[in-house]
Amino acid sequence: MREHYQTKSLSQLAQDLDRTMKAVQHKLSLLKLERPKPQPGDEFHRLTIEELYTIHKYGQHITMAKCVCQCGNQYVGKLTAIVTGHVKSCGCLKRETSRDNAIKRNLTHGCSSTKLYKVWAGAKNRCNNPCNASYNDYGGRGITMCQKWQEDFDTFQKWALANGYVEGLTLDRIDVNGNYEPKNCRWITMYEQSMNRRNSLKVSITAFNETKNIHAWVEDKRCVVSTTTLCYRIGAGWKPEDAITKPSERR
């Protein structure tokens, strides 16, 4: 500390010694070391002192420093704030740091406007967001998205491209009661999706001592849900009477 206290600011000493500035000041006082007074030409972080002067404010004499920043801007501030490192620039350092952090926060894969991203976001939303109109048919009955896909779109995108995805295909779960995960998902055409729905309409449901297919039950006055919801409920193992008469909860 004896070797460097005259050439480094308190903040630089504190950083080098891994101590707080208050601890460094206390150590200097114990060693009875007096720091030389800053002079024009001294550099503190990005600021170089050009002129020192004193003002009288609130009953105190405050030393002010007129400085030039590395970016070329002028800065005037309290000398103590500059020497201790509370002020390191004219403000350009904070702006640069804020901009870098903003860029880092907003840095994405660049695919948020693609249809594949919307497929991924839609499936994720249906599983996790109780306010989603389809939540009861997905997350509400325990369907989830695997952790790797949920945390990283790039992982989902790589799987999709490696498993035959092209624009126009839809994401389909092989087991309608299973989760969104590689082993249970595939890409199919809208025609295949519609055929799957048509096949599901042929399924017979016995309720209220009556046996009818799904389409017939949807047209029944006692049914209060859509065809899709009824298909999912029956597939999920609901009691037929409940699947037909219990309204979907919408938040």
What is the domain partition of the chain in residue ranges? 37-105, 115-245
- Decide if 235 contacts 177 (C-beta within 8 A): yes
pLDDT for residue 29: 67
Cα 113 to chain centroid, rounded:
17
Computed on alpha carbons and rounded to an integer, the radius of gyration of the chain in Å comes to: 34
pLDDT for residue 218: 85
Pick the closest to residue 170 from 119, 220, 207, 130 (CA basis): 119
Residue type, 246: K
110 phi, psi to nearest 5 deg: 75, 15
pLDDT along the chain (251 residues), means of 10: 50 64 65 67 89 87 92 91 87 82 57 86 92 88 92 92 90 87 89 61 82 86 85 83 84 41
Residue 156's contacts (CB-CB under 8 Å, 6 or more residues apart) are 120, 149
Q: What is the dihedral sign for C-alpha 180, 186, 188, 192? A: negative
Q: Which two tokens stand for residue 4?
A: 């460097």
Its CATH class, for the domain covering 37-105, is: mainly beta
Q: Which two tokens stand for residue 6?
A: 């005259």
